[in-house]
Structure 1
Amino acid sequence: MNYYVKADRFLLEDMETGPAYLQIINGKFGLIRDFPSDEDAKIIDWSGYTIAPGLFDTHIHGGDGVDVMDGDANSIHQLSDHIVASGVTRFLPTTLTSSIEDLENSVGAVRQAVEEGLRGAQSEGVFLEGPFFTEKYKGAQNPAYFLDPDYNIFSKLQDLSGGMIRKIALAPERAGSLEFIQQMVKEGVAVGLAHTDASSACCQKAHAYGASIYVHLFNGMKGLHHREPGVVGAGLNEKEAFTELICDGHHVHPEVVGLVENIKKDKLLLITDCMRAGGKPDGTYMLGEFEIQMEDGVARTESGSLAGSTLRLIDGVKNIHYWANIPLHESWQRASLSPAKSLGLHENLGSIEEGKAADFVVLDKDMNIKTVAINGVEIDKGEKGNVQT
């Protein structure tokens, strides 16, 4: 299906432009023009609205009452449908530290759902968060299942997933981590550091071996100290490393978000780390084997520790836009292009650029989502633009 999208504003990689016409050709973005090149072209008129690239959540456990660890393909379908309504067009279903059997069931369920065909947001692989962590900064991960990195375990999970594990997190101080990181990078799997008490020097060594992401920076890791920079210091200091942030105002203070933005720029990527309570009312929920209480939208363990989030990615974009006082196209890229870059998928995803997948979101002046398109096809989530021929 070939057509043009007419809108007042387009959020591009390094600027905003418009009013203009954006060409869609066979599910890919074409050129942005002042006027259509074909006078008989089909035009979808979103005059008065903004067109932004689809969002990409590379770290999400669940939402709408379901979780990736349910080990059920129906849960993946439901999550896909749920998050596309808030502008997410691509995601990595994310596991949690658990038994090997549970992990096998979970990655198998993602594979099944993808093979059946997701109706909403499209999975770009699996994020294996654990079980190669250490206990001090365990967060809501169950330390009973923590292990040293084991390629045999990974290999079996990768086989069951159909090769879909695209990202993995570990604690680099565990035995065998460096060799494991090196092997993951050889196989095209992005490696993040998380739930770790490592020193800054240990993290730097892990980065030299190929680790490239600091998972939910400040949370589940040794903090910054002036005599030992820790994991946080390493993440901020390593120019080529990506740093995830949960911008919900609970996991990281707004002023600290602004500080990280000033340091990391396009190496900062927004995630939700959302758990099954996302989009649901306050109450009791399960995160893995832990009972979680959500009050005023904040999920905590029995001990009071934060247990994932209930954040929508678009709200993280809004928050960093205001907290860091950066242009909207920059804050938006932190949740679209930066995540794609962190996985090496930016040649086809993450921004409005000729030849990339035509994933886009239509926003009104208050940043409410009117509709979403994936590969150029509108998902029926809101009012439609006025079609002209």
Structure 2
Amino acid sequence: MYIKADAFIYPYDKKEGGYLEVRDGRFGEWLETLPAGEDFLDYTGYWIAPGLFDTHVHGYAGADVMDCKCESLEIMSEKLLSTGVTSFLPTALTADFETLDEVCRISVEAKDKVKGAKIQGLYFEGPYFTEKYKGAQNPSYMRNPSEEELDQWLASSQGLLTKMAIAPEREGTVEFITYAKEKGLVVALGHSDARYDEAKKAVEAGASVWVHAYNGMRGLNHREPGMVGAVYNLPNTYAELICDGYHVHPSACEILMEQKGYDHVALITDCMSAGGMQDGDYILGEFPVIVENGTARLKSNGSLAGSILKLKDGVKHVVEWDLADVVEAIRMASYVPAKTMGLEDTCGQIKSGHAADFIVLTPDLELKATFVDGEKVFDA
């Protein structure tokens, strides 16, 4: 089939008008004119963009990765379509070894069962963090990294575990990062009180992503640049960023984008199970959370506990805050996240031969429809 629209969003270009070919569930070429005798799907008045890729999402629509249930991942997969997401990394929290091992097994079972957004890997946000910046995670499980634990998780996940976050100041971190990279993992740094030099050593060992920049890390000081200074200054690294207006002030978002460039900022949600749900009481990991006024906060101390952000809204915020144009904003929520995982040749962009996972947007970035493998799977 061919799709007619007012614009098509490519990673570095917006093609005005024309037609996009979709054949056997994959993208073809963009054409200025429709071939004679061909039918087309008419989205005049709308824009076509690649499906979004959320590389850090704990739950949605009442489901949570830490439920350790295949059904929960199926719910997330289906309901995330309404947020413009067509690919995601189910994200686990800090927990004991056995629980995380079960997350690995369940994720393998779910990967081929899900019918909506595609599971492109598994992300462990922890458990090798520091207690000082625990956030909404249980410090009793935080510990030094273990190659033996990683080996078992990789076996249980059948290689689906592809991203792992650790704190650079933990004992044995450099050796662990080197080992993890040899195993093909993307290593992220966060929930950390590391000094600049400790973060730099971790990056030199192979770490390449910063966990939700600014949040859960030592701040910038002119005498000790800390983790935030490392985020700004170390090249060839990618910063996750939550653009809900609560986790990070828009001006701080702007500074980060200026420091890293649009090609090195990946918009994420860090969403928990209350995403898409009514305000009220929820659980994140093992902790009671209250959701109200657009935020999820721990009942115990009021700290932010993940978010209830929809990734499509993060994109819209960035444009409304005048931090990026539409092409740049969508790139930070699709192509760049894919690139952080080495998956840019699989998903995250409109490209001939790629799976036809895309979204239909109004010019003011409201979601009209979501397609996976060329089939409409969500209609607003």
Structure 2 counterpart of 1:291: 288
1:322 Cα deviation (Å)? 2.2
Structure 2 counterpart of 1:386: none
Q: Structure 2: how far apart are the matches of 1:95 and 1:25?
A: 36
Q: Structure 1: how far apart are the matches of 2:199 and 2:181?
A: 16
Q: Structure 2: how far apart are the matches of 1:365 and 1:252?
A: 26
**Among candidates 32, 44, 48, match of residue 47 of structure 1:** 44
Query: Which shows bigger deviation, 315-324 or 142-151?
Result: 315-324
Query: Which shows bigger deviation, 13-22 or 347-356?
Result: 347-356
1:325 Cα deviation (Å)? 3.4
SS of the residue 1:341 aligns to:
helix
**Normalising by structure 2, what TM-score?**
0.97
Q: What is the letter of the counterpart of residue 163 of structure 1?
A: G
**Among candidates 361, 369, 372, match of residue 371 of structure 1:** 369
Q: Structure 1: how far apart are the matches of 2:279 and 2:367?
A: 24
Q: What is the letter of the counterpart of residue 296 of structure 2?
A: A
Structure 2 counterpart of 1:387: none
Matched ranges for 1:1-389 at <5 A: 3-37=1-35, 39-115=36-112, 117-265=113-261, 266-301=263-298, 302-379=300-377, 381-382=378-379
Q: Structure 1: how far apart are the matches of 2:145 and 2:322?
A: 37
Query: Which shows bigger deviation, 240-249 or 150-159?
Result: 150-159
SS of the residue 2:66 aligns to:
helix
Is the 8 Å Cα contact of residues 312 and 367 (structure 2) preserved in structure 1? no
SS of the residue 1:251 aligns to:
coil
1:144 Cα deviation (Å)? 0.4
Is the 8 Å Cα contact of residues 198 and 231 (structure 1) preserved in structure 2? yes
1:357 Cα deviation (Å)? 2.1
Query: Which shows bigger deviation, 302-311 or 39-48?
Result: 39-48
SS of the residue 1:69 aligns to:
helix
Q: Structure 1: how far apart are the matches of 2:130 and 2:323?
A: 36
Q: Structure 2: how far apart are the matches of 1:184 and 1:100?
A: 17
Q: Structure 2: how far apart are the matches of 1:324 and 1:149?
A: 41
Q: What is the letter of the counterpart of residue 373 of structure 1?
A: F
Q: CA deviation digits over 1:209-240, x for unaligned, max 9?
A: 10000000011110111111100110111121
Is the 8 Å Cα contact of residues 21 and 30 (structure 2) preserved in structure 1? yes
SS of the residue 1:236 aligns to:
helix
Q: What is the letter of the counterpart of residue 241 of structure 1?
A: T
Is the 8 Å Cα contact of residues 261 and 324 (structure 1) preserved in structure 2? no
Is the 8 Å Cα contact of residues 60 and 271 (structure 2) preserved in structure 1? yes
Is the 8 Å Cα contact of residues 4 and 22 (structure 1) preserved in structure 2? yes
Q: CA deviation digits over 1:230-287, x for unaligned, max 9?
A: 0011011112100001001111001111111122121000000000111111111111
Alignment root-mean-square deviation, CA = 1.2
1:297 Cα deviation (Å)? 2.4
1:119 Cα deviation (Å)? 1.2
Aligned residue-pair number:
378
Q: Any unmatched runs of 5+ in structure 1?
A: 384-389
1:293 Cα deviation (Å)? 1.1
Q: Structure 2: how far apart are the matches of 1:185 and 1:25?
A: 36
Is the 8 Å Cα contact of residues 348 and 355 (structure 1) preserved in structure 2? no
1:118 Cα deviation (Å)? 0.8
Is the 8 Å Cα contact of residues 126 and 166 (structure 2) preserved in structure 1? yes
SS of the residue 1:119 aligns to:
coil
1:183 Cα deviation (Å)? 1.3
Is the 8 Å Cα contact of residues 59 and 275 (structure 2) preserved in structure 1? yes
Is the 8 Å Cα contact of residues 12 and 52 (structure 1) preserved in structure 2? yes
Q: Structure 2: how far apart are the matches of 1:234 and 1:28?
A: 40
Q: Any unmatched runs of 5+ in structure 2?
A: none
Q: Structure 1: how far apart are the matches of 2:367 and 2:327?
A: 16
Aligned identity (percent) is 44
Q: Structure 2: how far apart are the matches of 1:127 and 1:262?
A: 27
1:109 Cα deviation (Å)? 1.5
Q: Structure 1: how far apart are the matches of 2:331 and 2:253?
A: 15
Q: Structure 2: how far apart are the matches of 1:318 and 1:227?
A: 36
Q: Structure 1: how far apart are the matches of 2:61 and 2:133?
A: 27
Query: Which shows bigger deviation, 101-110 or 224-233?
Result: 101-110
